[in-house]
């Protein structure tokens, strides 16, 4: 059996077109993947290298201010809490002294001594607050060291007028001393409350400024990141479009492998002209086709 040269050529072109198309598609995809990988690597490097748009010096200074104010607030809060505790104890001690005055006047040794025991317990529970500006020295340290100067009922002999008078004198001195200390402690407590409010307001204000600045910086970085990402995507699309043009040669080979059927007779011409075969063409179609050829 003899194979025509036209059939052989067509087969070769068809095979060549198919192989070329497959190789081009594979090579193109590999190139696209490699290029996209390089673009993404560059994108990440650019994002990592984005400059800090915020004022770093200002941010650092603001944070330092916040840290310093927080330390002051901690100290003030401690003084305020300790002063509050001391004020409560001093108030209780003053009430005990008043009760002991009544017990001494009545010669009630048992009540006197019981209240004295509670009084000494409160004295030991007082907190020594280091004197730091703007707080006053509250004299509690000296009070705890020297005591209130009150003895037990047996020392005074409350059954006698002289004993009752001596106890009353010591109780009055203690009340005077506690009254002076109580005034300083409550004053320190008021100062601590005022400072706590002031410092808290300053810290809150600085925190808001810091957060707003950081938020603005984050938005700027996010905006620049979005722009860089969009540019990278545009680059990828443009490269894909450019590589896609290499399929033109594959299309040309395909057209060569499948050329249009050339007419080999007048009937083929008529068939192509009227869209019908020689057996199905009508006289009207034939005449029209002939007229068109002669035109």
* Domain residue ranges in the chain: 70-221, 265-295
Q: Which residue has the higher pLDDT, 246 or 137?
A: 137
pLDDT in tens, 67-103: 999 999 999 999 999 999 999 999 999 999 999 999 9
Q: Which residue has the higher pLDDT, 1 or 222?
A: 222
Assigned token pair, 285? 């179609």
Q: Which of 109-118, 119-128, 156-165, 244-253 has the lowest mean pLDDT?
A: 244-253
Q: Which helix (H) or strand (E) holds 26?
A: helix 5-48
How far is 185 from 138, CA to CA, in rounded Å?
6
In order, the DSSP letters of 53-70 are: -S-HHHHHHHHHHHHHHH
pLDDT in tens, 19-70: 555 655 666 666 667 777 777 877 777 777 766 555 677 778 888 989 999 9
Q: Is the pTM of this model over 0.85?
A: no
How far is 227 from 182, CA to CA, in rounded Å?
67
How far is 55 from 62, CA to CA, in rounded Å?
11
Q: Tell me, what's the pLDDT at 59?
A: 79
CA contacts within 13 A on the Cβ side of 225: 13
What lies within 8 Å, CB to CB, of 42 at 6+ separation is 232
CB 291 within 8 A of CB 284: no
Q: Tell me, what's the pLDDT at 225?
A: 72
């Amino acid at each position: 059996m003899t194979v025509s040269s036209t059939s052989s050529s067509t087969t070769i072109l068809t095979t060549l077109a198919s192989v070329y198309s497959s190789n081009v598609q594979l090579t193109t995809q590999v190139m696209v993947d490699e290029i996209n990988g390089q673009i993404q690597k560059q994108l990440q490097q650019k994002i990592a290298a984005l400059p800090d748009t915020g004022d770093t010096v200002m941010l650092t200074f603001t944070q330092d201010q916040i840290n310093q104010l927080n330390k002051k607030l901690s100290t003030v809060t401690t003084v305020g809490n300790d002063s509050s505790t001391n004020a409560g104890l001093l108030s209780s001690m003053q009430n005990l002294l008043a009760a002991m005055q009544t017990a001494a006047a009545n010669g009630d040794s048992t009540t006197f001594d019981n209240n004295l025991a509670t009084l000494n317990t409160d004295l030991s529970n007082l907190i020594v607050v280091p004197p730091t500006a703007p707080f006053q020295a509250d004299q509690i340290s000296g009070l705890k060291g020297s005591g209130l100067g009150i003895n037990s009922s047996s020392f005074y002999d409350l059954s006698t007028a002289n004993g009752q008078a001596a106890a009353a004198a010591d109780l009055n001195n203690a009340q005077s001393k506690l009254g002076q200390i109580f005034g300083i402690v409550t004053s320190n407590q008021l100062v601590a409350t005022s400072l706590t409010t002031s410092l808290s307001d300053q810290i809150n204000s600085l925190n808001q400024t810091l957060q707003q600045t950081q938020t603005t910086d984050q938005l700027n970085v996010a905006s620049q990141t979005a722009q860089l990402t969009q540019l990278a995507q545009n680059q990828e699309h443009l490269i894909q479009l450019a590589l896609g043009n290499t399929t033109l040669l594959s299309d040309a080979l395909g057209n060569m492998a499948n050329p249009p059927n050339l007419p080999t007779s007048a009937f083929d011409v008529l068939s192509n002209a009227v869209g019908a075969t020689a057996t199905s063409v009508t006289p009207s179609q034939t005449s029209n086709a002939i007229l068109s050829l002669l035109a």
